[in-house]
Amino acid sequence: MKFNWLSLVVFVLGLVLLIAVNVHAAKPEFRVEEATLEQIQKALLKKQITTVELVNLYLKRIKAYNGTCVMEPEGVLGPVLTIANAGQINALSTLNLRPATRETWGFDSRKARSMTDSVDNDPGMLDALEIAALQDKQLAKTGKLVGPMHGMILAVKDQFDTRVMRTTSGADAPYANDRPPTDSTFVTKLEAAGAITLAKANMGEYAGGDRSSFGGTFCNPYDTERSPGRSSGGSASAVAANLVTCAIGEESGPSVRNPAKNNNVVGLAPTQELVSRAGMIRASAINDRVGPLCRTVQDVAKILDVIAGYDPKDELTAFAVDRLPAQKYQSFTTERSLQGIRIGVVREFMNRELFSRADDESIAIVEREVEMLKKLGATVIDPGPGGALFQGCVKHYAPIAYNSALANQFPDQFPVDPKGKPSTDHIPVLLAMADGSVAFPESITIRGLGTEPSIGEGRYVLDAYLKERGDANIKTTEDLIKKSRFFTDVRPGSGFSDKKAALQAKFDDKTLDMSNRMQTRFALQQIVLQCMAQQNLQAVTYPTGNVPAPKLGAPAEPSVNGRSPLAWTLLGANGFPAISVPAGFTTEVYDRIPDPKSPKATLMVGPVKAQLPVNIDFLGRPFSEPVLLKIAAAYEAASKHRKAPQGFGALQ
């Protein structure tokens, strides 16, 4: 019989191929870069990776990319110089590792869990790897994940209490015990659901700026000479560079959405009353919001599912009772059509004639993305260039909603005597403004409403936190001023602001008066809700911020016509939920430098070629997170604008 060599060759090749396929199928390579929670959990259940291995993968990236990103010739408190393509971002200030483990990894002692407990051997304070090992043991025993957050490796902004890691809001303050006695409410919820807090995120000290007296300067992974977004910049840049799965930031102004914009990630600033603020070094009594930052809308929604809801420790969350959806937030992230949804375009935030050349490209990018919303089936209500979505409502309702606050801004139309009492009848003028028979002040627009100041708010919430924390050495704002160390490289008009002076300004307030803030908050909500109802809008959209990330330490683009150099703030700061989603990248930007002829002035320079992230906001009524998540997820899936930063790629 003649032997068939061809058949043998085919058989052997087939066998080799089958073995290769089976080996690959048995344990395909898991990549931590850009991994979502869903992908991580599938890998855990298929035994492609363990929780300990997952934590180690993130630690490996932290070791590679979390180093100092600026030159500090006089140390962390002195002047700094930026470094082009630094390859480091200094996003994480504290690591949840026991001393021996931290030293084995080669992390600096400055990254220790505590500066006041160098031994750090309390068996009740497990570190990230110890928790991961317990989770692996439980998974091996039951074949089930320990909870819906199993595999979520988190960074938490240093503004939030973590009982196993130091918490100082970025300050170099000599607490007798730099660890707070308890966790923030949301930290407790997330960890109970299986999340592991791997690190505290570096932050702008006391929720402002690009520097921390303890943690140093942190940088943007898309251009390490630029700002990662101020206060929550460390949280967002850690997510962008894949140092963690997600992070938790805080927003009193735009400090979740502005870092999301600067770092090409998704950031949700939820309804003010939806998520507990208990256990945080607060900046405001009514502005602070706890917000997740992730690389996908779905992961943001999964975190919200865990942290949303009433907490008796935070009185504002009483408004959330019976206001949560019947189904999980994450369930709203699967649809890809926006049929039946009406979205308004806030052209007041996009009028090129009112701003500067620095705004132009971001506005153009969002104008382009609005067309994608139409393709997804949304009905878009767009007043067009130069138009105004809200101005008709503002003119009609501001006279009654703002009343005396409006009158005080225009003494010519509303005169008063030397004692401050009306010298004419103000009510007919307000009525005439409301019905249009008297011209309404053109300077009053949605860009400037809701900005009434308060007195003593900052000092009250900070002293209240310190009193509850009960530290033996730091008991009041005055103690922080007298005993802390502060960075000295202060540059007015930039992200390097004077932190000691800011604390002193808080301490100088001797009474608490938030009446104007509370009244204008209600007034703004009333006007916006009425305008949305009249136009049957479920959401509105606009650029998260018009001005791309500025150079670190450089002068910011000047505020003009209600547009700040950061993200659009007023609606979110007055309680409306907003989600920021990647919308594209610039091709060029304009920067600012000091004017050598005038110390307080700046000069615009550029254009400079730069590919910097731009995000789009979707904002809705209070407690409308389900519809915002639906819009954001459909847009994200269609646009695919998330791109990992170059220079922070996979490790060997």
- Predicted confidence at residue 76, as pLDDT, reads 95
- Predicted confidence at residue 2, as pLDDT, reads 44
Q: Give me the chain's average pLDDT, please.
A: 94
Residue 518 and residue 238: Cα distance in Å, rounded?
35
Tell me which residue of 377, 305, 299, 292 sits closest to 337, measured CA to CA: 377
Structure tokens at 582: 């990647």
State the average pLDDT over residues 609-631. 98
63 catalytic residue (yes or no):
no
- Predicted confidence at residue 545, as pLDDT, reads 98
Q: What share of the chain has pLDDT > 90, as a percent?
A: 88
Of residues 111, 157, 261, 506, which has the active-site annotation?
Answer: 157
Identify whether the C-beta of residue 338 lies closer than 8 Å to the C-beta of residue 376: yes
Identify whether the C-beta of residue 232 lies closer than 8 Å to the C-beta of residue 203: yes
Determine phi and psi for 381, rounding to 5 degrees.
-100, 100
Three-class DSSP category at 479: helix
Confidence class for position 26, pLDDT limits 50, 70, 90? very low
pLDDT in tens, 275-325: 999 999 999 998 999 999 999 999 999 999 999 999 999 999 999 999 999
Structure tokens at 593: 């430098």
pLDDT in tens, 112-171: 999 999 999 999 999 999 999 999 999 999 999 999 999 999 999 999 999 999 999 999
- Predicted confidence at residue 17, as pLDDT, reads 37
Contacts of 95 (CB under 8 A, 6+ apart): 59, 62, 102, 107, 111, 112, 113, 128, 198, 199
Structure tokens at 639: 């646009």
Place of tokens 């007296």: 213
Residue 398 and residue 530: Cα distance in Å, rounded?
12
Determine phi and psi for 480, rounding to 5 degrees.
-60, -40
**Domains detected in the chain:** 37-388+514-639 (3.90.1300.10), 391-435 (no CATH)
In this predicted structure, the answer to whether residue 482 has a pLDDT above a threshold of 60 is yes
Dihedral sign computed on CA atoms, order 259, 264, 270, 275: negative
597 catalytic residue (yes or no):
no
- Predicted confidence at residue 595, as pLDDT, reads 94
Tell me which residue of 563, 550, 556 sits closest to 612, measured CA to CA: 550
Of residues 184, 252, 255, 497, which has the active-site annotation?
Answer: 255
In this predicted structure, the answer to whether residue 15 has a pLDDT above a threshold of 60 is no
Q: Helix 297-307 and helix 37-45: axis angle, to 10°?
A: 80
In this predicted structure, the answer to whether residue 347 has a pLDDT above a threshold of 80 is yes
Residue 17 and residue 633: Cα distance in Å, rounded?
39
State the average pLDDT over residues 39-64. 99
191: amino acid identity, one letter = E
Q: What share of the chain has pLDDT > 70, as a percent?
A: 96
Of residues 93, 114, 227, 231, which has the active-site annotation?
Answer: 231
Structure tokens at 302: 């999964």
255 catalytic residue (yes or no):
yes
DSSP conformational letter for 161 = -
pLDDT in tens, 278-290: 999 999 998 999 9
In this predicted structure, the answer to whether residue 21 has a pLDDT above a threshold of 60 is no
- Predicted confidence at residue 204, as pLDDT, reads 95
- Predicted confidence at residue 27, as pLDDT, reads 56
- Predicted confidence at residue 576, as pLDDT, reads 95
Q: Where are the alpha helices (DSSP H) in 285-413?
A: 297-307, 360-375, 391-409
In this predicted structure, the answer to whether residue 433 has a pLDDT above a threshold of 70 is yes
pLDDT in tens, 163-221: 999 999 999 999 999 999 999 999 999 999 999 999 999 999 999 999 999 999 999 99
pTM higher than 0.85: yes
